[in-house]
A and B are shown apart, each in its own frame.
Chain A
Amino acid sequence: MTSNTSLWKHTKTWFHRWGSPAWFYRTSGLIIPWLWAGFFLLAVPGLFWGLFIAPADYLQGDSYRIIFIHVPSAWQSMLIFAVMAGFALIGMVWRIRVAETLAMCCAPIGAAFTVVTLISGSLWGKPTWGTFWQWDGRMTSELVLLFLYLGVIGLQQAIEEPRRAARAAGLLALVGVVNLPIIHYSVEWWTTLHQGTTVSLLGESSIAPSMLWPLLLMVGAAKFFFAANLLSRTRNTLLVQDREKNWVRETVWGVKQ
């Protein structure tokens, strides 16, 4: 029991330490290079395998290779919204500024992944479906997701005071994450009523292992890419916000107070 409570205490102090911008700045600086290493370690073989070694699809030819960008960024774009809402909730409950900043820094990265998903999807749609855009359920909800991300960014930028902006936009992210499943199912239902999906994404057969492995590598690479970007972005934001504070002078300019 005692060891249990001390473990809990350790976890709690560890957790609270992350709430200090100075600690966050220093520790994330140590982690970021490893995240980039993880990204390259997965992305380089993943891309090479996917683009050159994996066999061409018997239906779609080489155009299916967009999958190695498209699917990882699609999954990532949805995951980031959940991460953003999670940080916003932590920020709201415990009033931790680092968490609020992390949530706000998720939004532009998530929006970028959503844009990549939409563009790569329509580039893939042209040769396989014969059209750049189809009001298919998944495409429509991805588009709505982009609008939700833009809403969070827009609200944050419209409010002058940074903490109030982060809190308001974080609340919007929480509302969005509750609403997202409803939006997704309503849109899915809307398309099934109007017209059946004409082409299923992966053709008739389930995906072959020779295509699955590079895909999984790229999915992992997207996670590392996101984490590295999120930490860098948050560090920079904290530096700008705290430019008058002592810890910034000490860590950046080396001025001892």
Chain B
Amino acid sequence: MYPIDNLIIFTGRNGISQKRAVSFFLAALCLLSITGCSPDVNEISDIALVTAAAIDYDVVTNKYSFSAFCVMPSNTSQEKTSALTQWVSSATGKTPLDAARKMRSRVGKNLIFQHNKFFIISESAAKHSLFEVMDYLSRKREFRLTAYPIIVQGQASDKLKLGTESGDMLSNDLLGQVRNNKLSGQDVALTIKDFVDLFENPTRGFVAGRIKTKSSETNKKEFLTVTGGAVIYKQKFAGWVDGNDVLILNSLSKKKVWKDIEFNDVIHSKNGSVFSALFHEKDLEIHGDIQNGRPKMSVYLKYIASVEDVNKDSDVGDSRVILQMEQAASIHLEKKIKKSLAFFQKKLKIDVLGFSDYYSQYHSKAWKTMQKDWETLYPMIPIQVHVTVLFEKSGMTTFIKEES
């Protein structure tokens, strides 16, 4: 093409030559002709978001029902305010997928599950066919791995129809409650990922989230609250756990769970004073030993706390007073933890705290023999609880003189 081309060096024309350019344009034309044909396109103007879903199972008819709380904009883009239309649609089918497909085909919009953060699973579905439901939820990338599967007493689909106290969207309200768990520590925010991971573990059970209906204190309507937990063992629902037990469960779990939780408690001191304090877990150590082929565990907990109110005049600036309060608080917490542990061990008889994981990781030899009769061993494990409480903050008033 160029006269310099026949020179020996520097002839490596590395870019695009004429022929290549022509073929490039042809390829570009081909690409042009098939644009917009992709079957995977979800145009934003055609979609409705699912922000919460509910799965029911009817034992008699053997059918699943799938309900979705959908949201779509009710206005057009010209208006500046963005009001949203919300509705619940549902369908029944032989499998979770069947139900979900039916529901999707009946809705006029393209339902998008990617932003769904809550799967509410009814008690009967959890009891009788949890495996099918979880399998369906974990197989598709559509469903967030970080969504929360939550078990509810009774029917699940009608819970979606309940309003919220604030009037906000249901999912926002639930999300807010999960976020506010750090104020009480009374609910479990277990994601699908953890659910599936624990689900497969044959020796231990675990606690998933629970939703309850609660009537409002200001009017007669019923609302949903996320509190307490549902025990799942051997891929089945096995019972409910109270909020207080869930708090202890959270305290004894991984750091990720308890690091933000700050709960309050009322403590009766020996000298008759009653005070309440906020507790924040600082450190947790769980030790397991084996004595005579039997497991033995001890738990060390460290809390920092702050005094919030005191019923009678006492000088919280005085270190003796604080020491007394600390003692009272640690005794109180130890009792509380022991009570919950007793509930898990003696009453529930399910290893929801994952002691079996501990033994299989750190005492893997002994675990081999223990594994077979873990179910009988577990309720008998003696667990020692040691709690230390440190009152770091005592508030802006240290001492109020009571009028006598």
A binds B: no
- Give me the interface of A with B, judged by CB distance under 8 Å: none
